[in-house]
Amino acid sequence: MNHALHDDKMDPLDIVNHGLIPGIEMAGELYDRKQYFLPQLLRAAETMKEAFAIVKPYLSQEAGQNMGVIVLATVEGDIHDIGKNIVAVMLENYGYKVIDLGKDVKAADIVDAAEKEQADIIGLSALMTTTMPKMKDVILLVKERGLKCRVMVGGAVLTEEYAQSLGADGYSKDARAAVKTAGKLLSQEEN
């Protein structure tokens, strides 16, 4: 990792997109094919986390401008957070203040935080078909409390159509697109 960053002078985002993400996905495929088992998959996920922690400071720029406040969380029952963590760093890079609540977070805790922090956007991550519906709970609670903040969603198993069926304001398939979606949601807000 240090070799790629310092000796090869690789772009840190390329390390994430062309090294770390394909790596964890390959581990997932091997797991699906029963060539890897849970310990190997966990090891791969831990390695990804450690590697990401090394590149993270090189991805983060000084958050000079304040583009808006985003509360981010992986929904209740879901412990997948690799993708969410990448989305957090990308949004921070683009000047958003990101409040990352972590993983396995209850709908009420997410909406409480959004209210307290006066968030412009809530970003939700879910990686399993069993936890995707939890996003709907958050969306309903935002409406129930009359909050103005928008909700954008993401995670490998999600689709644009499913996001719409949940009533989400935005969906992105990856971290780069998440930055665009956030920008779009905020410009709609001003209009």
**Residue 43 neighbours by CB under 8 Å, 6+ apart:** none
175 sits near ligand B12 (criterion: CB under 6 A): yes
139 sits near ligand B12 (criterion: CB under 6 A): no
Burial of 123: CB neighbours in 10 Å, binned 0-12, 13-18, 19+: buried
Token couple for 36: 């890897």
83 sits near ligand B12 (criterion: CB under 6 A): yes
Q: Which of 51, 71, 87, 135 forms a contact with ligand B12 (CB under 6 A)?
A: 87
What sign does the dihedral 85-87-93-97 (CA atoms) show?
A: negative
Binding mask 88-107 for ligand B12 (x = CB under 6 A): --------------------
Q: Which of 174, 183, 184, 186 forms a contact with ligand B12 (CB under 6 A)?
A: 174
Minimal distance, residue 183 CB to ligand B12, in Å: 12
Contact present, 168 and 135 (Cβ < 8 Å): yes
Beta strand 121-125 with 170-171: parallel, antiparallel or unpaired? unpaired
CA neighbours closer than 13 Å in the CB half-sphere of residue 13 = 10
Binding mask 149-168 for ligand B12 (x = CB under 6 A): ---xxxxxx-----------
* Residue type (1 letter), 158: L
1 sits near ligand B12 (criterion: CB under 6 A): no
CA neighbor of 151 nearest in space, from 129, 161, 136: 136
| 46 sits in which H/E element | helix 38-59
Q: Which of 51, 99, 114, 124 forms a contact with ligand B12 (CB under 6 A)?
A: 124
4 sits near ligand B12 (criterion: CB under 6 A): no
Distance CA 127, CA 70 (A): 20
68 sits near ligand B12 (criterion: CB under 6 A): no
Minimal distance, residue 48 CB to ligand B12, in Å: 7
Count of residues near ligand B12 by CB under 6 A: 37
- Residues of this chain that interact with ligand B12 (CB under 6 A) are 21, 24-25, 27-28, 32, 41-42, 45, 77-84, 86-87, 123-125, 127-130, 152-157, 172, 174-175, 178, 181
